[in-house]
Amino acid sequence: MGSQTSGNWKELAQICVKIQQDSIPKQWMLSKDKLPSEETLNVSSVPYDAGTMSAEELEMTAQDAGGLLKAYESGRWTVKQVITAFLKRGTVMQQMTNFATEFLAESALQKAEELDAQFKETGKLSGPLHGIPVSVKEHIGMDGHITHAGFVSKIGNVPKEDALSIQLLKKAGAVIHVRTNQPQSLMHLDSNNNITGMTLNPLNLKLSPGGSSGGEGVSVGSKCSVIGVGTDIGGSVRAPAAFNGCYGLRPTALRVPNLGNFGITAGQESIRGVVGPLGQSVEDLELFMSAILGGKPWDVETMLVPIEWRKLAPNKEMTVGILYDDGIVKPHPPMVRALKIAAEKLNSAGIKVVNWEPFEHQRGWDIVSALYFPQGPSPYLDTFAETGEPVLPLTQHAFNFSSKEPLTIAENWSLNYQKEAYRREYHALMKERGVDFILCPAYPGAGVLQGMAKYWNYTAIWNILDQPASIFPSGVKVDKDIDRPYEGYTPRNGHDEWELKAYDPELMHGFPVCLQLAGKHFHDEEVLQASKLIDAILKK
Amino acid sequence: MGSQTSGNWKELAQICVKIQQDSIPKQWMLSKDKLPSEETLNVSSVPYDAGTMSAEELEMTAQDAGGLLKAYESGRWTVKQVITAFLKRGTVMQQMTNFATEFLAESALQKAEELDAQFKETGKLSGPLHGIPVSVKEHIGMDGHITHAGFVSKIGNVPKEDALSIQLLKKAGAVIHVRTNQPQSLMHLDSNNNITGMTLNPLNLKLSPGGSSGGEGVSVGSKCSVIGVGTDIGGSVRAPAAFNGCYGLRPTALRVPNLGNFGITAGQESIRGVVGPLGQSVEDLELFMSAILGGKPWDVETMLVPIEWRKLAPNKEMTVGILYDDGIVKPHPPMVRALKIAAEKLNSAGIKVVNWEPFEHQRGWDIVSALYFPQGPSPYLDTFAETGEPVLPLTQHAFNFSSKEPLTIAENWSLNYQKEAYRREYHALMKERGVDFILCPAYPGAGVLQGMAKYWNYTAIWNILDQPASIFPSGVKVDKDIDRPYEGYTPRNGHDEWELKAYDPELMHGFPVCLQLAGKHFHDEEVLQASKLIDAILKK
């Protein structure tokens, strides 16, 4: 460090910027005069107005995977047509949000042609994800492509094979057409780094796209891909899904492959990062899970547990606990309203709804936050120092969670022990209270200003508990007239005070509110089953 | 340490010795003149000659669980009769081997009466283990009973509830009638400690009973219980099963409950200790697994994976690789002969048999041995120092496996990473070579002199690989005339030299040779299925 620092981070970053820029299909870019004015904050409708996409192409990009599969089977659309439509949409959204690190137009269109030829010849789809446009977070390693995980010094990392999840997706017929952005170190709830920079939220350019799978949030939320592949160790699939109004799942750990994901914490087993899908519907999430597990990943990545995806029959017999407040940070008014409306609708639909009194979420946070950086920040700082890239504010924020000094192995064991005890107790309490699922916020607010996503524990709590959790839209949008700021509320702590001040009804007006549904450990199938039911009820 | 040491370990140990001695059912003890002479090394037939047990009682103790269940169902025997018979046998064997830390005669007989009353009333067995006498290793915590795990300073530890495995066994109808001995620190392949002392092997009192579940080895091998519950992190179920001529299983980790097992490594997740059964037959092992997993332990101990015990149909379609030598320590002549005979018999029975070239077992040992004491020996030494108990030679031997200094978390992560890579590669190789199971020694010798069990890696290799492995008799016994020591063999290393010298055909003559069968990760069911088939073939 210091004078030893090579300080060449800007030049190195340019390697990736060039790859990114070169990869953009220029023919579908909007000229500057066709881009929205600088005052326009919600740019999500631009693809509809820009004129680069036909009505049919717009219809293609409005489908979920099931819709596309039907269209392929009936011969209505070819994969090539569909992939072209998604690339067009992605190109336009990229201009406004910078969500992609690299488009893969050529290989995607080639794969599309192959799939079309195969279908023409056999009359059969090649797999459960035949021709489905899938975007993938950058740090999920890709054969022959720089995979840097948000570290400038890792720009030299070029995997020699695809990550196992990518292999299985390709085998299932998916077309991977774009790689997406993530934050420095992967440890923000937004997506800003020193390489390809900051991703913006197309629903409001001032707001965070969420993170760390923020590029995925935009990609899927803006329908530039149907399914997105993210990773989540504290909310990194769920915050982006929630902030972009789409669907997402953090599965139970050790079901979906991690092999070939790149980062600087290999061998860390105390709190596991998990690959999870984002999608246009709960069915998309289910399709991802069943396709991936159908590939029996445990027969390659022996760390995984050999549990096939279980098909569940629809079932209304369930009890949903509503968590209105985790006892640490009070959710913003529109979030509480969305939960109340959901509770009423579920109740009316004959679902048993109860209040969920949070069980020591601070205890959960104390454990998980200590486990994020058990070596202290120095492995990260050393990695940054290799090129001199600056530490971004939210990276520093995350470092502050954990001890500055490395833990001893004894301390790590103690945290592991506490973690398991907390998991057992939480699970026992859900059984005792007869609660199958917990409906809760994914973040105190429906969205958050760029650079300000600081409170992780509405999502991280399910990481430390290793309980599966999904995201879906509540159907509610922030209404500045209804969702007035709290008056006379005295914050319980610094986080609470920060988040109380962070709520700006004017800024947030019209922003969609998403909700999170957590289930029991390994009840991924039940969580999606319930999410489907709840989603249908909320849409009514 | 030093002058601070309280030095009261002998007095503390006496607390447990008194509990042990008081618990022995005195009425069934042999008087000194009825005990075998001091020159008698094989005392396994003493229960048949001592006259304390009737012929029918001896028949009872010759059953496996299936045999007893049949007798209960038909009304031939009551549970009380059977438990009494096993207590009688245990009392006699205790006098000669010191295998038990505590008999539970009173509570066992009371439970027996309850089960008999229940059966009389309902005509139905109360569960899959109705009336089965089960012995349990001491460190598996028991409500209201000192549970010290081989540390004098832990004699104050009295759990307030049973370990989860014990709870599930009791629920399944098992009668727990005796707790069994283990070594200091649990980290020997024998069973000697500073509390209740050394357990002897009834097949040859000069030889080790194995360990760390050595009390279980004697208990089950000598038919003082039908099923035994041990734990295994490096061979601790399998060495005792092998050295006592019975059956045993180290299951894949995270299937059988660990909750309530006592030790000083809580929160250690890198190399997991596993509870596993010893029994009179492969069917006993299967029954234990299906009974325990039938209790859905994952719904309490959330660390476990929710995979039910799968019932498999008999299947001869399999390929067995024979590992004659791990490339580090050459097995003794009778072991190699037993493997060759097994290979021939399997081949004749139509099973595909191939040679299994070991895949970098030294690499596996380097990883696992470093993970046994990642904090160095100091947490153990500190625990010993609390009472001044001396470090036993095999404890010191185990400490020598790992670094003297604590590893950093970064080093621990690196070992975790190496472990997963090794697991993947080994698994891939089994698939590539088309091998389903590996038949191999559990130890270089069929047995080993007390205090001399030093080479762990014929068993520990399956711990680092987390592959399930069973033990069963080969049907071969050491023959001093056939199994001549190797001549002209040049040892490859110090271990190899030690073990070469350790083979004494005179001493070992007549000792049974057991074999080990390892299967793929999570293929516990397949391992037992194959073990059943192979066992039947070897018995022919």
First to last CA, chain B: 58
The answer to whether the Cβ–Cβ distance between B266 and A413 falls below 8 Å is: yes
- Of A531, A537, A470, A480, whose CA–CA distance to A332 is shortest? A480
Residue-range domains of chain A with CATH: 2-28+46-264+271-305+316-539 (3.90.1300.10)
Task: Check residues A403 and A95 and name the one with the higher pLDDT.
Answer: A95
Give the tokens for residue B110: 């009371």
- Tell me the per-residue pLDDT of B199-218, one tens digit each, with 9 for 90 and over: 999 999 999 999 999 999 99
Residue A2: what pLDDT? Answer: 37
Distance from CA of A418 to the nearest CA of B (A): 8
The shortest C-alpha distance from B361 to chain A (Å) reads: 18
Cβ B112 vs Cβ B91: under 8 Å: no
Q: Which two tokens stand for residue B335?
A: 């072991």
Average pLDDT score over residue span B485-492: 96
Strand partners, A180: A100, A137
Q: Is the dihedral of CA B262, B267, B268, B269 positive or negative?
A: positive
What whole-number distance in Å separates Cα of residue B395 and Cα of residue A516? 51
> Does residue A249 contact residue A237 with C-beta atoms inside 8 Å?
yes
Helix, strand, or coil (residue B112) = helix
Does the distance separating the beta carbons of B302 and A267 come in below 8 Å? no
Active site residue B137: yes
3-state secondary structure of B537: helix
Q: What pLDDT score was predicted for residue B6?
A: 64
Residue A278's H or E segment, with its range, is: strand A274-279
Known active-site residue A137: yes
Task: Answer whether residue B1 shows pLDDT above 60.
Answer: no
pLDDT tens for A113-156 read: 999 999 999 999 999 999 999 999 999 999 999 999 999 999 99
Binding residue numbers of A: 186, 212, 233-236
Of A215, A23, A15, A219, the C-alpha closest to A109 is A23
Residues of B in contact with A425 (CB under 8 A): none
* Cis-peptide, bond into residue A369, ω within 30° of zero: no
- Residue A311 has a CB neighbour count (10 Å cut-off) of 9
**pLDDT tens-digit readout, B413-430:** 999 999 999 999 999 999
**Burial label, B169 (beta-carbon count in 10 A; 0-12, 13-18, 19+):** buried
- Hey, are the CB atoms on A302 and B420 less than 8 Å from each other? yes
pLDDT, tens digit (0-9, with 9 covering 90-100), for B276-326: 999 999 999 999 999 999 999 999 999 999 999 999 999 999 999 999 999
CA distance A289 to B56: 58
Question: Given B298, B374, B424, which is nearest A302 (Cβ)?
Answer: B424
B212 is in an annotated binding site: yes
B438: left (phi over 0), alpha (psi -120 to 50) or beta: beta
Q: Do A427 and B268 touch (CB under 8 A)?
A: no
Residue B301 has its nearest CB partner, among A267, A299, A424, at A424
Contact A409 B413 (CB under 8 A): no
Tokens 């309850």 -> residue:
B114
In 3-state terms, what secondary structure has residue A474? strand
Using the predicted structure, report yes or no on whether residue A476 has a pLDDT greater than 80: yes
pLDDT one-digit tens code per residue, B329-384: 999 999 999 999 999 999 999 999 999 999 999 999 999 999 999 999 999 999 99
Nearest CA distance, B538 vs chain A (angstrom): 31
Q: Using CA atoms, how far apart are residues B425 and B292, in angstroms rounded to an integer?
A: 31
Residues A466 and A461: their CA atoms lie apart, in Å, by 8
Provide mean pLDDT across the span B141-167: 98
- Show residues of chain A in contact with B408, CB under 8 Å: 375, 406, 409
pLDDT band at A6 (very low <50, low <70, confident <90, very high): low
How many interface pairs between A and B have CB atoms less than 8 angstroms apart?
103
Helix (H) or strand (E) holding A496: helix A494-502
**Chain A CB contacts of B375 below 8 Å:** 408-410
Is the ipTM beyond the 0.90 threshold? yes
Structure tokens at A74: 């009936």
Q: What is the pLDDT of residues B259-273, one digit of tens each?
A: 999 999 999 999 999
Q: Measure in Å the smallest separation between the Cα of A424 and chain B Cα atoms.
A: 6
Nearest to A83 by CA among A55, A60, A59: A60
Residue of B nearest to A252 (CA): B305
**Choice among A67-71, B33-37, B527-531 with the minimum mean pLDDT:** B33-37
Of A23, A126, A185, A212, which one is the catalytic site residue? A212
Paired strand residues for A178:
A103, A135
